[in-house]
Amino acid sequence: MIDVGEKPIAKREAKAQGKVSMSASTIALIRENKIPKGDVLENARTAAILALKKVPHLIPLCHPIKITWAKVDFNLTESVILIESVVKGVDRTGVEMEAITAVAVAALTIYDMCKAVDKSIVIGDIRVVEKKKEEVI
């Protein structure tokens, strides 16, 4: 781990995005809440939030972060689910690992819930798209 003990505490924010591509018929099933395993987007949102809270347990050299807020949103197109997470915290290091983990776990949850009805699912383009820091005085 890197020693962050001397760094100032700051308000941190990170945004991450990713996508899950699948057939239009699977997107329609998700919209109609007809996937056999249940409500895909709400399960993916819950899994993402649970995962972002566990980042230091999942990724060996990540520091525990004081997370103050998080959200995970989905935008469905004809054949893609776009995932976006925003995480805020107040600490000595950033929250981008939490944001990107949320997107990855949301995508994995979508895959798991839909794999029985669609063999063409592809997860991709997961990335951090924004980081902000505002020092706390």
State whether the Cα torsion 111-75-53-9 is positive or negative.
Answer: positive
Share of the chain above pLDDT 90, in %: 90
112 is known as an active-site residue: yes
Res 48: pLDDT: 98
Structure confidence by residue, pLDDT tens digits, 36-83: 999 999 999 999 999 999 999 999 999 999 999 999 999 999 999 999
Q: Is residue 28 predicted with pLDDT exceeding 80?
A: yes
For 130, the domain range is 10-135
Q: Is residue 99 part of a domain?
A: yes
Q: Is residue 112 part of a domain?
A: yes
Count of domains in the chain?
Answer: 1
Res 122: pLDDT: 98
Q: Are 74 and 83 in contact (CB under 8 A)?
A: yes
What is the model's pTM?
0.95
Distances, alpha carbon 12 to alpha carbons 33, 41, 86, in Å: 35, 26, 11
Q: Is residue 1 part of a domain?
A: no
Q: How confident is the model at residue 137 (pLDDT cuts 50, 70, 90)?
A: low
Res 1: pLDDT: 82
Q: Which of 3, 39, 112, 125 is catalytic?
A: 112
CATH number of the domain encompassing residue 111: 3.30.70.640
